[in-house]
Structure 1
Amino acid sequence: MPRRDRFILLSFDVEEFDIPLEYGQTVDPETQFQVSLQGLQAVLGVLDRLNVRATFFTTANFALRFPEVMQAIAQRHEVASHGFYHSSFEVQDLAKSRQVLADVTGQAIVGYRMARLQPVADREIAAAGYRYNSSMNPTWIPGRYNNLKQPRQPYRVDRLLNIPVSVTPGIRFPLFWLSFKNLPLWCYKLLSVWTLVSDRQLNLYFHPWEFGPIQGYGLPQYIARHGGAAMVTRLERYLRWIGRYGQFVTFAEFCDRTTAPHQQPQLPVNPT
C-alpha cells in the first residue's frame, strides 16, 4: 500500500497544566499556563523543523489567555475544541468553547475531544455544531475507563465522525502519550507502524506540558519520565521515522477523506 494511503493524525491537547492536582499537589493558575506554554512553543519548533501539520485540541480558557499564540497556530495547523476548562465540564461548554476558539483564531472549529477522554454524548457534540469527535480510547485503563467493546476504527453516528485514539490490533495495547513516554522507543515504533499499516490511520495524542519543565511537581515517574528537552528530542526522532510510512493530515482533512461506516449510537452519560 502506498504511503499516501496511510494517514497519521498527530494531535496535542492544549490545556492548563493541572495534572499535579490529581496527585494532591497545588499549582497556581499562572504556573499552569506557563508550563503548558513553554511546552507548546517547543512542540511548534519541532513541527516547523519537520514541516508537519497537526491538530491542537485547545481549551477556551487557554486560548483566551494566549490569543496571539493560537492565532499563529491557526495559520498552519488545525485548532479544535478541548472544552472550556480542563478540570470542569458543562454541556453548554461544547458550544461556548467552539465559539470562543472560532472568535480567537478566525478558523472554523469542527472537532472536539473531551478532557481526560471522559464520555460525552455524541448527540450533544453534533448539536453543538461539530463534525467529528475524538474522545474515546478503545482500551482498558485501570481507574479511567474500559472501552474494550468499543470500535477501534473510525465510525459515524448520524453525521458525527468518531475517531478513536489508536490501539494495536488484537490485544488493543494503547498507543497514547504514556506508552510513548515509558516504552523503549524501538518498541513504540514497532507497535505504531504495525497499527498504521493494519488500520491505514494512526491517531496519536500528547500534551504540550509534557515538553515543558514538569520536574518538581510531585508527579509519578511514569508521568514525569522523559519530560522537557528529553521529550522534545524523543518526539522529533519519532516523527522523522514514522513519516516514512504515512502522511500527516489534520483531523479535519481526515474527515474529508474517510468513508467510515455507521453504527448504532451509544449514549453515555455526560460527566458532571
Structure 2
Amino acid sequence: MASRLASISVDLDSLHHYCRIHGLPETVLDARARGLVYAKAVPRFRELWGALGVPGTFFAIGEDLADAGAAEALRQAQAAGVEIANHSFSHDYALSRRAPESIHEDLARGEQAILAATGTRPVGFRAPGYTLNAALYAATAARGYRYGSSAFPAAPYYAAKATVMGALALAGRPSRSVLDSPRVLLAPREPYRPDPRQPYRRGTGTVVELPMTVTPGARFPFIGTFAATLPMSFIRAAYLACRGSALFNFELHAVDVLDATDGIPAELVRQQRDLQVPAARKMERLATLFRWLKADADTVTLREAAERLAPGL
C-alpha cells in the first residue's frame, strides 16, 4: 500500500454563488441553470471517479437540498461510495464573522439537510470561501466533526482574490465574497491539529485540519480551476513539487466540469472564464490528474484520510 495519501473533493457551489462573487444579479440564472450542479456536474464527477476507480468527497450546501432532484442526486452519490461532507447551510461568505450561536445554527441546518437527503450525518466541514477563524473552528469542535478542510494557504490565490474584489468595488459591482485574514498565508501546508484560538497555527485542537494542496515555496494552489485550464507542463511541474506531501488534497468545484453549452448565461461565462473551456476537455485533463494520484498514492475520501492521519498529529 502506498505510504502517501491523496483525496479528491468537490465543493458543490451552485451558480448563484458565482453571481454573488462576480457582483452579478442572480436573475441572470433561469431555473435550469440553477439546477446544473446536481443535474450535470454531480453525474459527471461520479462518471469520472467510477471509470478510474477512485473515491471522492462532495461538500454539499444544505439549502440546495430543498430541491428533491438535488437531494436524490446526493443520495445516489453516497450510495455509490462518495463521502458527503458539510459546506454549510447557506454558503454565507461571511459565516465566520457571525455570532457563535448563528454559526452553530448554520452548521446544524446543513447537517440536518444532508442527513435528511442521505441518512448519514456528515463528519467533515469546509468553510464557505475557505475562511476559518476561532469561532467557526469552535463550532466544528462542539458539533463533533472529525476533520475540517478549510485552510488554503495559497499566496497567489489570495493576491488575485484581493485584486479582483478591489476591481469589482471600483466598478460599482462589489463582490459578496470575503477576504480572509492574512494569517492564512502562514498556515501549515500539511495536515495538522489547530490551535483553537488561532486555527491557522498548530495546536492541540480536536478537529484535524486538512489544508488544500499548495506547492512548497511559492504556495501556488493545486486546485481544479487551475489544473483544468493552465498549460499541462506547468501543472505537471506543480504536481511533482507536491509529491512529498503526506496528503495531496486536490480540491475542485462543480463548475470544473461545466461549460457554456450547459446553459450557463453569457454574463456569467464572461466573468468565470474557465466556463469557456469545453467540459469534455476539462474532464479529460482531470482524468489524467486523477490517474497520477492513483498511481502515486493511496486515494481515499477525506474522512478516511483524517482517520489515518489523526493518530500521528
**Normalised-by-shorter TM-score class:** 0.7 to 0.9
Structure index of larger Rg: 2
- Give 1:150 deviation, angstroms: 1.1
Match status 1:114 vs 2:127 = yes
Identity %: 24
Distance between the aligned counterparts of 1:172 and 1:260, measured in 2?
26
SS class of match (2:249): strand
SS class of match (1:96): helix
Match status 1:176 vs 2:178 = no
Match among 48, 54, 59 for residue 50 of structure 2: 48
Deviations 1:46-84 (A, max 9, x none): 111111110101101223321111111112110000011
What's the counterpart of residue 15 of structure 2?
17
What's the counterpart of residue 166 of structure 2?
none
What's the counterpart of residue 202 of structure 2?
none
Match status 1:233 vs 2:284 = yes
Match among 51, 59, 62 for residue 61 of structure 2: 59
In structure 1, runs of 5+ residues without a counterpart are 263-272
- Give 1:258 deviation, angstroms: 0.5
What's the counterpart of residue 202 of structure 1?
248
In structure 2, runs of 5+ residues without a counterpart are 96-101, 163-178, 195-204
SS class of match (2:15): coil
Match status 1:79 vs 2:125 = no
Number of residue pairs the alignment of both structures matches: 259
SS class of match (2:220): coil
Q: Is the 8 A contact 1:35 1:209 kept in 2?
A: no
What's the counterpart of residue 302 of structure 2?
251
Structure 1 residue runs of 4 or more that deviate by more than 4 Å after TM superposition: none
Match among 139, 145, 152 for residue 130 of structure 1: 145
What's the counterpart of residue 269 of structure 1?
none
Q: Is the 8 A contact 1:16 1:86 kept in 2?
A: no
What's the counterpart of residue 118 of structure 2?
105
Q: Is the 8 A contact 1:53 1:77 kept in 2?
A: yes
Distance between the aligned counterparts of 2:71 and 2:272, measured in 1?
33
In the alignment, residue 39 of structure 1 is paired with which amino acid?
A: A
SS class of match (2:114): helix
- Give 1:223 deviation, angstroms: 3.5
Q: 1:40 to 1:85 in 2, by over 3 A?
A: same
CA RMSD between the two structures: 2.2
Distance between the aligned counterparts of 1:61 and 1:162, measured in 2?
25
What's the counterpart of residue 258 of structure 2?
212
Q: TM-score, normalised by structure 2?
A: 0.76
Q: TM-score, normalised by structure 1?
A: 0.86
Q: Is the 8 A contact 1:193 1:242 kept in 2?
A: no
Distance between the aligned counterparts of 1:220 and 1:132, measured in 2?
33
- Give 1:261 deviation, angstroms: 6.5
Q: Is the 8 A contact 1:9 1:202 kept in 2?
A: yes
Match status 1:149 vs 2:186 = yes
- Give 1:221 deviation, angstroms: 6.0
SS class of match (1:79): strand
Distance between the aligned counterparts of 1:29 and 1:122, measured in 2?
36
Distance between the aligned counterparts of 1:32 and 1:199, measured in 2?
38
In the alignment, residue 100 of structure 1 is paired with which amino acid?
A: A
In the alignment, residue 226 of structure 1 is paired with which amino acid?
A: V
In the alignment, residue 171 of structure 1 is paired with which amino acid?
A: A
In the alignment, residue 77 of structure 2 is paired with which amino acid?
A: I
Distance between the aligned counterparts of 2:213 and 2:309, measured in 1?
16
